[in-house]
Structure 1
Amino acid sequence: MKKYSILHKILFFINSVFAALLLLSYALPFISPKTIPILSVLSLFVPLLMIVNGCFFVYWLIKLHKNILVSLLVLVIGWFTTSPLIKFSNKEVILNNDLKVMSYNVRLFNHYRHEEEITTEQKIYEFINNEDPDVIAIQEFYNSELLDIRLPHKYIKTKSDKDKFGLAIYSKHPIVNTGSLNFEHSANNTIFADIAVNTDTIRVYNVHLESLKINPKKENFGEKNSERLLKRLENGFVKQVDQVELILQHEYAWKNKKIICGDFNNTAYSWAYKQLADDKKDAFIECGIGLGKSFRYIYPVRIDFMLTDTEATINQFKTYSDIEFSDHYPIMTRLHW
């Protein structure tokens, strides 16, 4: 009995630490990364903290122990105050006048052979063409000689005239205006295209916030490299602040219909997401199902988003979790105004 009691004390201490971290994370969307950069790193681990606390809840429930209240209380607070980790039901309505919008970080169409399959590039084109979106926003675009996306209108913005790397927006409908926000001191960027759909003009922002360069296959979490990793993450989050503020300033001037989508390189529990999603609809929250995992990481991480103004009606949201041609999964929504 004594050993059993000690084990419970150790587990309860660990449980309390994870519960406290999760509780602290609920404040992160309200704290600019420039204020306490190291604290922002915690936003990446919120899904993991939720899962761990869920496991402790189940454990104490099985034991019928009062310690269940710790994780239960923190999880209940999160249920009412943060973006959901999991959606149990989804809405799916298909209308002929829906606008099908896809967002996909294609990781340069496998230009650097991250995937061993040599036909990955052609398979990405085939997937996009078969899904037949009306609009697609592509991050980590590469202007390949094999490029075969069969949409008639496009806006491609590379980092320089000589570069082949950048962002792209393709559309079935005419593009009447385009532009680039030109992030300073960054390989990332945000572009936009004004698309004429019937009598409407819809602005589509293709967002790619500062990359954190996390690779679970290569990261060495030893002491020295961990310090370097944390410093890189801090710098990335701070850069994201300036990039988000630039997007918001630009977006504020557009009073018509809009879609903001792309790879935010941050989770739904971050300051960056809260700023961009404020007064907008998140297509996953409106119509998604499951975990919404959009990045191939060791635990569920949703860093690719589809946001619209509140006047839009979102009828469907899908994460293509079976498409593993990149380190991101493509996402698509059907919507109309």
Structure 2
Amino acid sequence: MKKLSFINKIIYFINVIVAVLLLFSFALPFLPPKTFSILSVLNLGVSLLILINVLFFLYWLIKLKRQLILSFFVLCIGYISFGSLYRFSSSKTIESPNNIRVMNYNVRLFNLYNWIPGKHIENKIVDFIKTQAPDILSIQEYHPHENIDLSFFKYKYEKLSGNKTKYGQAIFSQYPIVNSGSIEFPDTANNAIFADILKGTDTIRVYNIHLESLRINTNVETLKNEDSERLFNRIGATFKMQQFQTELFLLHKKQCKYKMIICGDFNNTTFSYVYRKIKTDLNDTFKEAGNGFGRTYDFRFFPIRIDFIFADKAFSVNGFKAYNEHYSDHYPIMTTLSLDKQ
């Protein structure tokens, strides 16, 4: 430190703070939000903290200063614990006669209230889905819009609520749905649904989960005007609800003996308690076959991934794609799976 200039001492002081915050955040997936609700808010910024530490590492590397060790050490711990924030996998899909294409998409009521500028956004969503031709489609914030025609799927299960505007979750399939149902979350319109789908001689359980929304406005001016303490308390309360909803889901999941695919909008990141509890020993298909940041939500400040498709280890993950079509506040994702493993 003695050999550093005054400016570099200040930069390193900031570096220490950011590195410590990132190191602390690595423990958040193991801390229940019901006990540590305010602290759990930090997991929303882990991606940003990683990117800032990368910049600090590069800065000290260019300066040829040993201060680079701090961020490098913390980043290594994160890589060992959680893998890379950015994936360098090939985007090429492995073809197999047993492939099943599974898409997840929060469609935000098919733009019912014109959040996205432009005409006939709902038709563009349907055309996009039809072009990509998933075998199984999991939708959050589904609304039976009068212009929506998803009849190219042979089977569906939907669970809707609301008085004036009906909305909820839906699962569409090209394979027969032999059983279905809903896991009700109290005091909210969010829930989880499931469909048992018959593929050949195999029955596959598909879950569609929509955990409580954070309701964070991505408009910079709106965020500036919102009281920070009130914002943190609201997010902390939401994380508590997410934990309770996850516990209800896990009780239901525990009774299932089928091979499983879990889709959904978790409204939380890979560094969260709910992600760890729901994923358990399943494969995160993005980590297995995705590339890039895998962004799934339209957050202006940095890429964020809050929508997921998990698959039983009995499945081979033969491909993954995160799309850039901006027809909702979420971006669609699709994975290609096959039941080659016995």
Kindly indicate whether residue 115 of structure 2 is the aligned counterpart of residue 114 of structure 1: yes
- Equivalent residue number for residue 304 of structure 1: 307
Unaligned runs of 5+ in 1: none
Kindly indicate whether residue 188 of structure 2 is the aligned counterpart of residue 186 of structure 1: yes
- In structure 2, relative to structure 1, the CA distance for the partners of 1:35 and 1:219 (3 Å cut) is farther
Structure 1 stretch displaced more, 85-94 or 209-218: 85-94
Q: Is the 8 A contact 1:181 1:189 kept in 2?
A: yes
Distance 1:41 1:303 in 2: 14
Flag as ranges the 4+ runs of structure 1 deviating above 6 A.
Answer: none
Pairing 1:1-337 to 2, within 5 Å after superposition: 5-90=5-90, 92-149=93-150, 150-160=152-162, 163-217=165-219, 220-222=222-224, 225-297=227-299, 298-320=301-323, 322-337=324-339
Aligned-CA RMSD value: 1.6
Distance 2:128 2:337 in 1: 21
Secondary structure of the residue that 2:73 maps to in structure 1? helix
Distance 2:226 2:335 in 1: 42
Q: Is the 8 A contact 1:83 1:268 kept in 2?
A: no
Distance 2:276 2:56 in 1: 28
- In structure 2, relative to structure 1, the CA distance for the partners of 1:18 and 1:319 (3 Å cut) is same
Equivalent position amino acid for 2:156 in 1:
K
- In structure 2, relative to structure 1, the CA distance for the partners of 1:199 and 1:126 (3 Å cut) is same
Secondary structure of the residue that 1:221 maps to in structure 2? helix
Alpha-carbon distance, 1:331 to partner: 0.3
Equivalent position amino acid for 1:140 in 2:
E
Alpha-carbon distance, 1:89 to partner: 1.9
Secondary structure of the residue that 1:46 maps to in structure 2? helix
Q: Is the 8 A contact 2:178 2:197 kept in 1?
A: yes
- In structure 2, relative to structure 1, the CA distance for the partners of 1:195 and 1:281 (3 Å cut) is same
Equivalent position amino acid for 1:126 in 2:
D
Q: Is the 8 A contact 1:98 1:335 kept in 2?
A: yes
Q: Is the 8 A contact 2:89 2:290 kept in 1?
A: yes
- In structure 2, relative to structure 1, the CA distance for the partners of 1:253 and 1:126 (3 Å cut) is same
Distance 1:325 1:93 in 2: 28
Q: TM-score, normalised by structure 1?
A: 0.96
Q: Is the 8 A contact 2:262 2:310 kept in 1?
A: yes
Alpha-carbon distance, 1:218 to partner: 6.2
Q: Is the 8 A contact 1:102 1:331 kept in 2?
A: yes
Q: Is the 8 A contact 1:106 1:138 kept in 2?
A: yes
Alpha-carbon distance, 1:324 to partner: 0.6
Alpha-carbon distance, 1:164 to partner: 1.2
Distance 1:221 1:3 in 2: 40
Q: Is the 8 A contact 1:138 1:206 kept in 2?
A: yes
Q: Is the 8 A contact 1:191 1:206 kept in 2?
A: yes
Secondary structure of the residue that 2:294 maps to in structure 1? coil
Deviations 1:222-274 (A, max 9, x none): 47522221121011100001111111110111111110011010000000000
- In structure 2, relative to structure 1, the CA distance for the partners of 1:277 and 1:45 (3 Å cut) is same
Distance 1:218 1:68 in 2: 32
Q: Percent identity?
A: 48
Q: Is the 8 A contact 1:244 1:272 kept in 2?
A: yes
Alpha-carbon distance, 1:162 to partner: 6.0
Alpha-carbon distance, 1:170 to partner: 0.5
Alpha-carbon distance, 1:14 to partner: 0.6
Deviations 1:107-151 (A, max 9, x none): 110001001112111000000011110000000111111111121
Unaligned runs of 5+ in 2: none
Deviations 1:166-195 (A, max 9, x none): 011000011111100011011211101111
Distance 2:3 2:318 in 1: 55
Equivalent position amino acid for 1:14 in 2:
I
Q: Is the 8 A contact 1:46 1:269 kept in 2?
A: yes
Q: Is the 8 A contact 2:217 2:223 kept in 1?
A: no
